[in-house]
Amino acid sequence: MAANEASPAARTAALFPGQGVQRPGLGAPWSTSRAWELVEEVSQAADLDVAHLLLEADADHLARTDRAQLAVFTASLLSWRSLEDVADFASDTYVHAGHSLGEYTALVAAGALSAYDGARLVAARGRAMARAARSEPGAMAAVTAGQAATEVLVAEVRVDHPALWLANFNGPRQTVVAGAPDAVEALGRRAEILGVACTRLAVSAACHTPLMGPAAEELAQALESVEFAPVHAPVVANVDAAVHTRGADWPALCLAQLTGPVHWHGVLGTLRDTAGCARLLDVGPGRTMAGLARRAVPELAVQRADQLLPSPV
């Protein structure tokens, strides 16, 4: 077995969501749980009142990229920590994967990073991305078409609007594009002519494209300041859809993810085929990960983490 392959015994994958699932009161389900002590640790690392983000912030306050990312990271980690109180939960049998921002939660859950260092990276990444978006505003849109069809559509639009890229390969029938606002708007018009559904996303940044390049230096400095574990539980990376178990891999992978596409459909395929997972567990707020998994790998069992937790949390 290659050094970076998952053990056949690891039969369940924990999936962590990215930005977009934030909402007011995000942390309420865990506010009285033993896991809540984590919030103070994240607040200290990020130099921000994360409890306010999770319990009191309104939608407008959470709309800013850096705040949204910290809120989703912390809520997802609270969900994971709460699972440790379940009697038959064995965290060391899991493979991990996270969509975009969720990859940082996956790294903490897998033991590649401490929660403190994970929060420092998320805070730095969010700040850097917010600054890059203010300097070079962007847009994103979800196209209800596969990768090949969307690549053709992007190529047509790029003739007149070159600042346009494929950002997320989410499944067999969903691909996300990102770029300059005028380019994404032009793609939407072209998609409508062709009868292809195209939904603009509520973001002002072109995530996972070269427009995030200005954020790379700040993230690189943050990555140099944290300590990755030499060896950790398996994590399937966004940028190459490969299983990684060595901490030394992640600085380069995190930087590549900032400006390159998320191969989520490939990640799910790796969890099924290489990691041998029979079950996928959607950990954290929202139902996005479960929905994508059910469409992309319908042969696998999919559960929500809250189905395993006692009620109330």
By annotation, the residues acting in catalysis are: 100, 208
Token couple for 301: 């069992």
Distance CA 247, CA 233 (A): 10
Q: Which two tokens stand for residue 251?
A: 């600085």
Query: How far is the C-alpha of 201 from the C-alpha of 103, rounded, in Å?
Result: 20
Establish how many alpha carbons lie within 13 A of residue 112's alpha carbon, considering only the half-sphere containing its beta carbon.
28
Q: Which of 156, 147, 200, 152 is nearest to 178 (CA)?
A: 200
d(CA 295, CA 304): 15
The residue type at 240: D
* Whether the Cβ atoms of residue 17 and residue 76 lie closer than 8 Å to each other: yes
Q: What six digits make up the tokens of 241? A: 């859809």
Q: CA 258 to CA 238: how far, in whole Å? A: 10
Residue 37 CB partners (closer than 8 Å, separation 6+): none
Separation between Cα atoms, residue 120 and residue 127, nearest integer Å? 11
* Residues facing 16 on adjacent strands: 98
Q: H-helix or E-strand containing 191?
A: helix 181-194
Q: Which of 119, 29, 75 is nearest to 284 (CA)?
A: 75
Contact 220, 255 (CB under 8 A): yes
